[in-house]
Each structure stands twice: as C-alpha cells, then as structure tokens.
Chain A
Amino acid sequence: MKATVANDTILKVENLEMLFPLTKGLLSRQYASVRAVDNISFEVTKGKTFGLVGESGCGKTTTGKCILRILEPTAGRVLYNGVDITKMPRKELKQYRRELQMIFQDPYGSLDPRQSASSMLKEALTIGQTKKLTGEINDRIEELLVLVGLNTEMKVRYPHELSGGQRQRLGIARALACDPKLIVCDEPVSALDVSIQAQIINLFERLQEELELTYVFVAHDLAVVRHIAERIGVMYLGHLVEVLDSSDLFQNSMHPYTKALLSAVPTIDYYAEKSRNRILLEGEVPSPINAPSGCPFHPRCKYATEQCKKQRPELTDRGGEHMVACHNV
C-alpha cells in the first residue's frame, strides 16, 4: 500500500518505536522495558542530509538501525520511496537491501580484520549480482578506492595496516559498492582526529553531490551536524524534541534542551565565546528505563510547569516547518 508522500521525500519515518524488554528470572519474565525510541516521526528529502543529534542514550543510533532494519522496530512505519519496508519479509526486502546502507562509527570494529580491502569490496560487489568478469570487478574496486580518496595500492592491505581515516574511507567504499541511494551515517567522524575529520566530512559532501546520495547523519557533535545537514532533529531520551533547518539552529532554536545543548558547545570564535550566555544544565540524563512522566526533559528544565510533568508535549509546527515539542514555547 503506497502512502501519499511528497515527490522528493525519499524516507518517511512515522511514529517509530523501539522497546527493549527487560527480563528477570528463569522464565524471562518481562518486568519493564527500555523505551529507546519513543514515537519518532520525520521526513528526509532526496539528495539532502537529515541530521539526528543528541547525547548518549537519546536513541539516535537505535533510530538509524531501525530505519535499516538492523533492529526490528516494535511499532511505527518506515516508508522508503513510499513503500512500507517496516514489516516486509526478508525475501522481499532483498531488492531494497543494497539501496540502504550504513557507515559505522568505529573504524576499528566495522572492518573484518581478516579481510583485505579488495576482498571486502569484492564481496560487496558480487553478492546477489549477475556474474561479472574478474577484470570488471577489479576495475570497479579501483574506481571505488579512488572515489573515496584511497590509493589503489591499498587494495592488498588489511585493516590493521590502515589508519583510522583510511579505514573509514574503506567503510564508505564498501557502502558505495552497493550503489546505495540512502546512507545512514552513524557517528562516522567521532573517532577521528580533527584534521582527518575535516577530510572525511568534505568527502561525504563531495560524494553526495556526485552520486546524488541522501544521508541520515547521526552524531553528537552539533557543529559537524550543523555543517553537513540541511535539516536537524534533536533527540532527548528517545523523543524528538525539535526539528528545524540547520540554518536556524544557532540563532532561532526554541526548545530549552536545544538551547542548553548549544550553550554547552564551545566554539572557536574567541570574542563571541567571551560574551556568550552559558546555560548550565543540572543533573544527568536520566536512564531510559525510568523515563520521567510527561515531558522527558522536565526534571532538568528551568521552565517546567505542572503540565510538563503530566502531559507529554507533541511536536507541532511553529511556522516555517520548525517543529518543537514543548508546552512553554
């Protein structure tokens, strides 16, 4: 059943929910559940980048994995090009499998230590595809390596012989080997040095232009997400608290959590830093097992009222597609 979406929306997430049951005892009796992702909805435009940002435990990585069905969501729908892929049986999903790829955070754990670069790319190129000639495959492998900025001689190397940045490039090459349309990037630059981060970010942007890719960019670094994404979703404790254009992020954000997050990120603009208003949040992020009632942010929010404690705010459009989930804004 096709749902009606705008022509250029490549991905639509509707009321996505991911519950992890907590069990106790010999018979695995469930006594509670972790609401890792709690009723998330957003849209991603083709050829653009949607940034999912938040601190650890907010559910952004889980959301990314649910979109690709690495984890099976417990409720909600994921519509890829209008087609509901959430509950699709594995056999049917196969045709879309290669169009939806992921780039992982850990450049050390995302590559099989016993596979050389060429072997890995060969595997990615040949699974489920019509038989190609060895010459064709080799050519394509070299093309991919050059595309991600690696030397073709690196094809014989094993992961431990590559630096962090090179491994990440190889991971990107593997994803590209499948001719993807949408790539979920899970914190792809967090583990890299500053100067290498910039190189990889530029690579992402170049590839997006050349290959018309769409990204869902999951990260905790606000500056990186602001730079690469056109639209940003801020997550807290499994909820989307604000969705806005990245150009609005610094000046026009409305949700108290987003503002606190922005204030906590130091910039390199010296004079601006000295004159900035700092909002310090008290306390820690609560555990998702004991999520607070009503608005998940209310225990730490300066503006919390009785209504905030009881009623969970919905994401509503405040004008210009700027969505905020807050009673007091």
Chain B
Amino acid sequence: MGERLLEVKNLRTSFFTVAGEVKAVNGISYYLDKQEIIAIVGESGCGKSVSQKSMVQLIQMPPGKILGGEVLFEGKNLLDYAPTSKEIQSVRGAGISFIFQEPMTALNPVYTVGNQLVEVIRNHKKCSKAEAWKIGVQALRDVAIPDPEKRMRNYPFELSGGMRQRILIAICVACNSKVIIADEPTTALDVTIQAQVMELLQQIVERKKTSLVIVTHNLGLVTRYAQRIYVMYAGRIIESGTTEELITKPRHPYTKGLLNSVPKLDQTGSEKLIPIDGTPPSLVNLPDQCAFLPRCPYACDKCRNSMFPELRSVEGENHFVACHRDIVEDRT
C-alpha cells in the first residue's frame, strides 16, 4: 500500500470558552491518497471545518487547542511543529492549500489579483516578480479564466463570485499544492457556476495530480464528485466508505436520515420528506453515549446504556459505521 499522502489519526481539537469545553473535533481518523477526491460531509456545527483547519494549525489558539492525534503528511507529523515554524509555513500553500466558502471575502479587496498571486507564489518559490507574474498568468489560464493578463490587473470587486473562486483555485494551482481542501466551495455560487467550478476542480485533480478534500453538507455534490465519503456528526466520524456504498447502502441512522431529508429532483411523485427529528447537539458538555441518541429513530436500550460506539467494519468495500445497531437499507 505504501505511504499515504495524508493520514489523520485520532485528531482532537477543543475550544475552551466561558460556557465550557467545546469538543469540536473529538477523535477523527481518515486518510487521503494521491489523486483522490474525498468528501467530509456534515451539517453546520459538526466540526468539519475545524478539523481541516487543525491539520495545518490554522485555528485560533487560544481559545482553541489541538489536544492530540497525528496528522501525517508525506510521513511527517505536522502536529509536532509549532504553528509559526518554517515547516508549517512551507506546508501551508505548497503542501496543503485551502479554498474557502466565501469568495467575496477570501481575496484582499485593496490589492489586484496579480498582486496577490505574485505574493503567494514568491512566498513558496524563490523567483523574481516577473517570473512569478508569468506563473500567475499560466495558473489563470489553467483554470480557464479568459484574458488572463487583463484579469491580473483587476481588483477582486470587479469580478463575479465564480471568477473569484477560480482565482482561489488558481492560487492553489500556482503553488502546486498536493492537497486542496475545499471548504463549502460552491455554497455561495449559482447552480450553473457551481457546476463549472466543480468540473474545474475535477480537471485539476486529473491534470495536476492533486488530491481534493471537499467539505460540504451538499450530498448531491459528493455523490457526483467524491470517491470516498466520511460523515461527521458532533465532532466524530460516524460512517465512512466509498461513495457507492454509502449512498446506496447507508448504515448509520444519521446518514440515512440525511439522505431521506433531501428532496429528490428526479422523482415525479409527491412523497413526503422524512426529516430527522430535533436539532444538532451543542458541542459543549457532550454526553458519553452516542451523540445521535436523542434524534435516532432506532435507539434502543443498548444504545442508551453504552458508551459512544466505535467505528467498526461492516460488509461492503471499505465501509465503517459507528453504531451499536445494524440497520441495513438498500437504496439502489
């Protein structure tokens, strides 16, 4: 199997606030191979964004603190280094880069696009301004931005949301990132632009041999583009597997609930949606039992009396579920 490109083991991050300890990331493990697209799925407040930022120590400490675990990037544990160290600085951008949700605020409004591209490129590569400029133009061309030379001189406010998102992708491409982490990359964009941006990301993965982590709550998006999925709930991974397995044969009641609560475009009947009862839990003072217990339609005494279930393997390729019960549902 060889060394994985990125492997996270038992990562734990908490925020210490006036209200108590918020266990945003409560022991998650996942991996990423070269040229792979994986998805981390969950609703707001489940800790998915925090988990990604923790990998390169981008969270505010205090009040946050990475309590433990390992983040093995190309064999080295990133958590061994201080956030301000050279090793981490060089990983951010060139090793692991981010695309955030709000393209409106991700770019500095007072500098031109070219300026920002050049700055990032020169941060990671020793070259002159002119060389960095050329690399920037090429990166813009790689993301199919028409008229790249002209765009370099534009300010962010002169460009649309879709265009700005492409520029953020161009920044990742220009740094030759090995891993791109896209945190809700298309939520703020129109549907047709969403499709363009996702297709572009897919092409980048193929052409530049990068790996992609899509962090989202949009299940349709991950069905179409991701190869493997991790479902997060209340700071833990509760199900993982290949897309085909998870979407057609979900095992965890939460995953099933999510899939049942999404309206289906391709059906003509008027079946009722089956929402999940209740609301996502607060991450402060989480109980020791399964966090989904209050909302689970399959809850039984065993669930009530046991600790949080660990991830265990179930039949199917690479399929793991954290559930005391064994509910099989076939959605093919």
Direct A–B contact in the complex, CB atoms closer than 8 angstroms = yes
When the two chains form their complex, are residues A196 and B266 in contact, meaning their CB atoms are under 8 A apart?
no
Number of CB contacts from chain A to chain B under 8 A = 128
* Residue A207 lies at the interface, judged by CB distance under 8 Å to chain B: no
Cα–Cα, bound, A249→B259 (Å): 21
Q: Which residue of chain A has the shortest Cβ distance to B162 in the bound complex?
A: A284
Cα–Cα, bound, A163→B270 (Å): 28
When the two chains form their complex, are residues A284 and B191 in contact, meaning their CB atoms are under 8 A apart?
no
| B162 proximity list for chain A (CB < 8 A) | 284
* Residue A7 lies at the interface, judged by CB distance under 8 Å to chain B: no
Given contacts A198-B274, A226-B263, contact A193 B268 (CB under 8 A): no
Interface of A is mostly: helix
* Residue B32 lies at the interface, judged by CB distance under 8 Å to chain A: no
* Residue A223 lies at the interface, judged by CB distance under 8 Å to chain B: yes
| B274 proximity list for chain A (CB < 8 A) | 198
When the two chains form their complex, are residues A266 and B220 in contact, meaning their CB atoms are under 8 A apart?
yes
When the two chains form their complex, are residues B258 and A265 in contact, meaning their CB atoms are under 8 A apart?
no
| B219 proximity list for chain A (CB < 8 A) | 194, 268
Q: Which residue of chain B has the shortest Cβ distance to A248 in the bound complex?
A: B268
Contact of B195 among A226, A264, A270 (CB under 8 A): A264
Cα–Cα, bound, A42→B89 (Å): 57
Given contacts A194-B261, A227-B273, contact A273 B43 (CB under 8 A): no
Cα–Cα, bound, A293→B180 (Å): 41
Given contacts A266-B223, A273-B224, contact A199 B195 (CB under 8 A): no
* Residue B105 lies at the interface, judged by CB distance under 8 Å to chain A: no
When the two chains form their complex, are residues B190 and A220 in contact, meaning their CB atoms are under 8 A apart?
yes
| A197 proximity list for chain B (CB < 8 A) | 261, 275
When the two chains form their complex, are residues A261 and B244 in contact, meaning their CB atoms are under 8 A apart?
no
When the two chains form their complex, are residues B263 and A263 in contact, meaning their CB atoms are under 8 A apart?
no
Within 8 A of B (CB), among A41-96: 55-56
* Residue B302 lies at the interface, judged by CB distance under 8 Å to chain A: no
Interface string of B222-265 (1 = CB under 8 A from A): 01110000000000000000011001100000000111111111
| B23 proximity list for chain A (CB < 8 A) | none
Residues of A within 8 A of B (CB): 55-56, 163, 165, 193-199, 201-202, 205, 220, 222-224, 226-228, 246-247, 249-251, 260-273, 278, 280-281, 284-285
Cα–Cα, bound, A249→B273 (Å): 19
Q: Which residue of chain B has the shortest Cβ distance to A228 in the bound complex?
A: B263
Contact of B258 among A55, A194, A262 (CB under 8 A): A194
When the two chains form their complex, are residues A265 and B279 in contact, meaning their CB atoms are under 8 A apart?
no
Q: List 27 A-B contacts (CB under 8 A).
A: A55-B193, A193-B43, A194-B258, A194-B261, A195-B261, A195-B275, A198-B260, A198-B274, A202-B273, A205-B272, A222-B191, A226-B265, A227-B264, A250-B266, A250-B267, A264-B191, A265-B265, A266-B221, A267-B264, A267-B265, A268-B247, A268-B259, A269-B223, A270-B243, A270-B332, A280-B195, A281-B196
Given contacts A193-B44, A205-B272, A220-B191, contact A269 B279 (CB under 8 A): no
When the two chains form their complex, are residues A284 and B160 in contact, meaning their CB atoms are under 8 A apart?
yes
Given contacts A223-B263, A270-B243, A281-B196, contact A196 B220 (CB under 8 A): no
13 extra interface residue pairs, beta carbon distance < 8 Å, beyond A261-B191, A271-B248: A193-B280, A195-B257, A195-B280, A198-B273, A220-B191, A224-B263, A227-B270, A250-B268, A265-B265, A266-B220, A267-B266, A278-B199, A285-B193
When the two chains form their complex, are residues B265 and A278 in contact, meaning their CB atoms are under 8 A apart?
no
CB distance from B300 to the nearest CB of A (A): 22
7 tightest A-B CB contacts, nearest first: A198-B261, A198-B275, A266-B220, A227-B263, A264-B195, A55-B190, A266-B224
When the two chains form their complex, are residues B275 and A268 in contact, meaning their CB atoms are under 8 A apart?
no
CB distance from B97 to the nearest CB of A (A): 24
When the two chains form their complex, are residues A280 and B199 in contact, meaning their CB atoms are under 8 A apart?
yes
* Residue B154 lies at the interface, judged by CB distance under 8 Å to chain A: no
Cα–Cα, bound, A273→B196 (Å): 16
Cα–Cα, bound, A265→B191 (Å): 7
| B270 proximity list for chain A (CB < 8 A) | 227
When the two chains form their complex, are residues A285 and B190 in contact, meaning their CB atoms are under 8 A apart?
yes
Cα–Cα, bound, A227→B262 (Å): 10
* Residue B212 lies at the interface, judged by CB distance under 8 Å to chain A: no
Q: Which residue of chain B has the shortest Cβ distance to A163 in the bound complex?
A: B279
Given contacts A264-B191, A265-B191, A268-B220, contact A201 B263 (CB under 8 A): yes
When the two chains form their complex, are residues A267 and B191 in contact, meaning their CB atoms are under 8 A apart?
no
| A251 proximity list for chain B (CB < 8 A) | 268
Cα–Cα, bound, A220→B219 (Å): 17
Contact of A194 among B217, B248, B265, B279 (CB under 8 A): B217
Given contacts A193-B44, A268-B219, A268-B220, contact A223 B265 (CB under 8 A): yes
Interface string of B148-167 (1 = CB under 8 A from A): 00000000000010110000
| A249 proximity list for chain B (CB < 8 A) | 265
| B44 proximity list for chain A (CB < 8 A) | 193
When the two chains form their complex, are residues B258 and A195 in contact, meaning their CB atoms are under 8 A apart?
yes
Contact of B223 among A194, A201, A227, A268 (CB under 8 A): A268
When the two chains form their complex, are residues B243 and A269 in contact, meaning their CB atoms are under 8 A apart?
no
| B261 proximity list for chain A (CB < 8 A) | 194-195, 197-198
CB distance from B96 to the nearest CB of A (A): 26
| B43 proximity list for chain A (CB < 8 A) | 193-195
* Residue B112 lies at the interface, judged by CB distance under 8 Å to chain A: no
When the two chains form their complex, are residues A272 and B264 in contact, meaning their CB atoms are under 8 A apart?
no
Q: Which residue of chain A has the shortest Cβ distance to B161 in the bound complex?
A: A56
Contact of A284 among B163, B265, B272 (CB under 8 A): B163
Contact of B262 among A261, A268, A278 (CB under 8 A): A268
Interface string of B172-206 (1 = CB under 8 A from A): 00000000000000000011111110010000000
When the two chains form their complex, are residues B264 and A268 in contact, meaning their CB atoms are under 8 A apart?
yes
* Residue B276 lies at the interface, judged by CB distance under 8 Å to chain A: yes
